[in-house]
């Protein structure tokens, strides 16, 4: 943004300078030409006044000497023509009065007209300046005086004036460019601080604030408003977390006490009420699990400040080993495939708990005789200057979920209509998504092929020295980064 602002400022300044300099350059060329034309017009009028008595008395000696001295001194040819348009006296030989420009000037002077307007002269032109004055008195024209001035000196004067104008404009442009950098820094410093503070707030670092300092008054007010908003957001989030954590923690004790009382009542329950007793105990157990899930969810939203390096392949191996017994008892196959080493950046225990939630759901919903594959896939970074991403896939060939249900599966307490009878709090996938998001990644639920559920955890890879962090995972096209495809048979 700083570069664009400087380029825009310098471009506008250059446009203004061009808009001012072009008409000024034209004016300068016209002024220099008018000055020369006025000088030549005066000289030509003087020769015309001297030629009038010479033509009347047919005495040209003094006038001829005057014209030759003028030509020798200034290098300007001078000619006196008679009424018939033929040369009578010239300062040098070889002046061609048949030249269209000279002929037109002589004819205009013989008709009694004087040259009042200077011709437009550009520095790249080489045509001489021709000035003609009528000779005569009392309303009678007896001849014409003509001067033919070379314009080399005039062109040089115009070029020098234009060069001076261009040099001054270049200095102004350089000064403007030099002033643009501190001006841009002054204007954008609050914006940069706001950008950093907004990124910190989005990442869950609620303690970071935009520093209030120099800058435009509007941006300083915006900084103050942003900090006020961040304080309120941080307060609300902290209150929410504390409430969920406190409420869940406080409910655990009475639920544990209630469960103990219900268990103590078991010997006294008559056979007719044992089923009701069992249902009450199971409901108390479910409420306790829900409190544990709420505590996990509250902790998941507070892990963004604690990111570390984790080997996703090692975590996947450990979780598969832990869940193998449960899968065997449920009659479901569990396979580990893919990379054997895949460092990622994640919050402590985030990937462990996310895989636990996904594998726990798989045990409940995949169904006996089916299979679950856990794949760790390292994505090649594009471009190579970034660290890339690591995908951890949990793919099954069970009944799966309809597309409409996949979009709601991460919502808190959501339960599939077909699985309302299965034990659970409805927070497992929600907690998993919160943990992955807090680690800078994302959790996607997709249909597996040809059927089943495909859960993908995408986490940022560990960048090597001098390698940039990967781009936002939302900007990565999922169609280009699917695993080499390990699907359950």
Q: What does the pLDDT average to over 424-434?
A: 71
pLDDT, residue 391, reads: 92
* Res. 317 pLDDT band, cuts 50 70 90: very high
Rounded CA separation 304/203 (Å): 6
The pLDDT tens digits of the residues spanning 45-65 come to 888 888 888 777 777 778 888
Asked if residue 346 has a cis previous peptide bond (ω within 30° of 0), the answer is no
* Res. 314 pLDDT band, cuts 50 70 90: very high
Q: Give yes or no for residue 309 having a pLDDT over 80.
A: yes
- Which is higher by pLDDT, 111 or 481? 111
Bridge-partner residues for 102, per DSSP? none
pLDDT, residue 420, reads: 46
- Tell me the pLDDT of the chain averaged across its residues: 78
- pTM, two decimal places: 0.46
Helix axes 312-330, 350-365, angle to 10 degrees: 20
pLDDT, residue 43, reads: 86
pLDDT, residue 211, reads: 66
The full 3-state SS of the chain, as one line of letters, equals CHHHHHHHHHHHHHHHHHHHHHHHHHHHHHHHHHHHHHHHHHHHHHHHHHHHHHHHHCCCHHHHHHHHHHHHHHCCEEEEEECCCCEEEECCCCCCCCCHHHHHHHHHHHCCCCCCCCCCCCCCCCCCEEEEEEEEECCEEEEEEEEEECCHHHHHHHHHHHHHHHHHHHHHHHHHHHHHHHHHHHHHHHHHHHHHHHHHHHCCCCCCCCCCCCCCHHHHHHHHHHHHHHHHHHHHHHHHHHHHHHHHHHHHHHHHHHHHHHHHCHHHCCHHHHHHHHHHHHHHHHHHHHHHHHHHHHHHCCCCCCCEEEEHHHHHHHHHHHHHHHHHHHCCEEEEEECCCCEEEECCCHHHHHHHHHHHHHHHHCCCCCEEEEEEEECCCCCCCECCEEEEEEEECCCCCCHHHHCCCCCCCCCCHHHCCCCCCCCHHHHHHHHHHHCCCEEEEEECCCCCEEEEEEEEECCCCCCECCCCHHHCCHHHCCCCCCCCC
* Res. 103 pLDDT band, cuts 50 70 90: confident
pLDDT, residue 332, reads: 92
- Which is higher by pLDDT, 238 or 68? 68
Query: Which phi and psi (to 5°) does residue 377 adopt?
Result: -130, 125
Query: Which phi and psi (to 5°) does residue 10 adopt?
Result: -65, -40
pLDDT, residue 489, reads: 43
Residue 144 · residue 119 · CB < 8 Å: no
The domains of the chain are located at 2-155, 203-302, 306-480
Position of tokens 């299979």? 371
Rounded to the nearest 5 degrees, what angle is found at the Cα of 484, between the Cα atoms of 480 and 487?
115
Q: What does the pLDDT average to over 225-234?
A: 80
Asked if residue 24 has a cis previous peptide bond (ω within 30° of 0), the answer is no
Q: Which fold has domain 306-480?
A: Heat Shock Protein 90 (3.30.565)
Return the CATH number of the domain spanning residue range 2-155: 3.30.450.20
Return the CATH number of the domain spanning residue range 203-302: 1.10.287
Q: Give yes or no for residue 302 having a pLDDT over 70.
A: no
- Which is higher by pLDDT, 126 or 22? 22
pLDDT, residue 331, reads: 92
Q: Give yes or no for residue 487 having a pLDDT over 50.
A: no
pLDDT, residue 456, reads: 92
The pLDDT tens digits of the residues spanning 70-80 come to 888 888 888 88
- Which is higher by pLDDT, 304 or 95? 95
- Which is higher by pLDDT, 186 or 124? 124
The pLDDT tens digits of the residues spanning 364-419 come to 888 888 999 999 988 755 454 445 789 999 999 888 887 777 776 767 665 655 55
Q: Which of 191, 193, 107, 203 is nearest to 146 (CA)?
A: 107
- Which is higher by pLDDT, 400 or 421? 400
């Amino acid at each position: 943004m700083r570069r664009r602002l400087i380029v825009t400022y310098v471009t506008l300044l250059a446009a203004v300078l061009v808009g001012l300099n072009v008409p000024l350059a034209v004016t300068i060329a016209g002024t220099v030409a008018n000055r020369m034309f006025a000088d030549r017009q005066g000289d030509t009028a003087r020769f015309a006044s001297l030629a009038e008595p010479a033509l009347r008395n047919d005495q040209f000696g003094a006038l001829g000497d005057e014209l030759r001295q003028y030509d020798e001194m200034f290098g300007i040819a001078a000619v006196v023509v008679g009424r018939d348009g033929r040369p009578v006296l010239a300062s040098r030989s070889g002046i061609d009065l048949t030249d269209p420009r000279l002929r037109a000037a002589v004819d205009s002077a013989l008709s009694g007209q004087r040259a009042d307007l200077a011709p437009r002269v550009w520095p790249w032109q080489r045509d001489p300046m021709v000035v003609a004055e009528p000779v005569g008195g009392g309303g009678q024209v007896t001849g014409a005086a003509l001067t033919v001035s070379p314009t080399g000196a005039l062109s040089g004067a115009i070029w020098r004036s234009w060069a001076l104008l261009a040099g001054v404009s270049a200095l102004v442009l350089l000064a403007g460019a030099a002033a643009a950098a501190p001006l841009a820094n002054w204007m954008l410093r609050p914006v940069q601080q706001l950008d950093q503070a907004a990124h910190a707030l989005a990442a869950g670092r609620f303690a970071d604030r935009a520093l209030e300092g120099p800058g435009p008054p509007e941006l300083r007010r915006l900084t103050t408003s942003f900090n006020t908003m961040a304080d309120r957001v941080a307060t609300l989030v902290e209150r929410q977390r504390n409430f969920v954590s406190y409420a869940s923690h406080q409910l655990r004790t009475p639920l544990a006490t209630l469960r103990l009382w219900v268990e103590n009542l078991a010997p006294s329950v008559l056979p007719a009420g044992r089923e009701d007793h069992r249902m009450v105990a199971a409901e108390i157990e479910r409420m306790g699990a829900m409190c544990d899930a709420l505590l996990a969810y509250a902790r998941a939203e507070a892990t963004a400040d604690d990111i570390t390096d984790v080997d996703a392949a090692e975590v996947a191996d450990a979780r598969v080993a832990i869940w193998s017994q449960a899968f065997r008892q449920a009659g479901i196959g569990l396979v580990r495939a893919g990379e054997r080493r895949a460092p990622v950046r994640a919050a402590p225990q985030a990937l462990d708990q996310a895989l636990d939630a996904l594998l726990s759901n798989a045990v409940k919903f995949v169904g006996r005789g089916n299979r679950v594959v856990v794949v760790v896939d390292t994505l090649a970074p594009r471009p190579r200057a970034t660290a890339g991403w690591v995908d951890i896939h949990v793919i099954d060939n069970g009944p799966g979920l309809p597309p409409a249900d996949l979009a709601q599966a991460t919502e808190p307490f959501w339960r599939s209509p077909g699985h309302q009878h299965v034990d659970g709090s409805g927070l497992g996938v929600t907690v998993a998504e919160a943990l992955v998001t807090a680690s800078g990644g994302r959790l996607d639920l997709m249909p597996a092929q040809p059927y089943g559920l495909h859960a993908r955890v995408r986490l940022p890879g560990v960048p090597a020295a001098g390698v940039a962090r990967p781009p936002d995972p939302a900007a990565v096209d999922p169609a280009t980064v699917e695993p080499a495809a390990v699907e359950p048979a």
